[in-house]
Amino acid sequence: MSYIDAFAVAVPTENKALYIEHAKLAGDIFKEYGATKILEAWGDDVPEGEVTSFPMAVKAKENETVVFSIAFWPSKEVRDTAWKKVMEDPRMQENENPMPFDGKPLIYGGFVPMLEL
């Protein structure tokens, strides 16, 4: 059964081009280790909430845009095997592929798809 990793993070709006470069390299590495597809989405209509919202969840500042990313894997087993390799890959290190955002409020989780239409 397929598996997905989802990420949400606030990126300084002025760093959009840098984020795209960062995401391309990271995405290529994920795919090299078995991901079947990477989706990167730049926030366009992401409202502020009163109780919860994407901007609140990632502590987005006024000059930041929420980015939502998904990595698709053929199975959780492939993802679990790949994840350690991805994190140890020198190309993922800060000196090789610096994050153009503050990674502390990044939200991440692995999910088992339950419905696809």
Alpha carbon distances (Å) from 11 to 1, 22, 25, 52, 116: 32, 12, 17, 19, 29
For residue 116, name the pLDDT band (cuts at 50, 70, 90): confident
CB 38 within 8 A of CB 4: no
Distance between CA 115 and CA 26 in Å, rounded? Answer: 27
**Model pTM?**
0.91
- What are the domain boundaries of the chain? 1-54
Q: What is the pLDDT of residue 44?
A: 97
User: Given a cut of 80, is residue 112 above it in pLDDT?
Assistant: yes
The counts of H helices and E strands in the chain are: 3, 4
Task: Convert the pLDDT of each residue in 29-64 to its tens digit.
Answer: 999 999 999 999 999 999 999 999 999 999 999 999
User: Given a cut of 80, is residue 94 above it in pLDDT?
Assistant: no
Distance between CA 115 and CA 117 in Å, rounded? Answer: 7
